[in-house]
Amino acid sequence: MAAVLNEFEQGRIKHLLFKSKLRAILLGADIDESPVLSEHECPFGQWMQAFLLKKFANYPELRELEHVHTDMHRLARLVVRQYHAGNDDNADALARIEALTDRVMELLDALEAKS
């Protein structure tokens, strides 16, 4: 059981890194944007593929998590694109990203409770 809990903690950390990297980009940091822009290059997305899909493939929470994760990256691409175009009025999109990131944590909690 401890290994599963450790896996979920790793997933949470990877998810929080997404938020930190997005903020860093919007503050002008010169970092690799691909983990923020692509759900496939995102460490959290890779963790989902490597761990969650193997253990929770038939759970509706995982299907929702995949959709939420994709939507989160779609909005991140929009925000970063607008930022690079000189438009820093992203409050609405950032609020939606924050709501999606909260939902990711809720879904992880639900999946962890089922493990």
Domains of the chain: 2-114 (1.20.120)
More confident residue, 90 or 17: 17
**CB 72 within 8 Å of CB 102:** no
Give residue-wise pLDDT tens across range 29-75: 999 999 999 999 999 999 999 999 999 999 999 999 999 999 999 99
Place 4 in a pLDDT band, splitting at 50, 70 and 90.
low
pLDDT score of 3 more than 90: no
More confident residue, 48 or 90: 48
The token pair at 97 is 């990203």
pLDDT at 6: 87
Query: What spatial distance separates the first Cα and last Cα of the chain, rounded to whole Å?
Result: 8
**CB 8 within 8 Å of CB 108:** yes
Mean pLDDT over 69-89 rounds to 92
Distance between CA 105 and CA 98 in Å, rounded? 11
| The amino acid at 46 | Q
The token pair at 115 is 């493990």
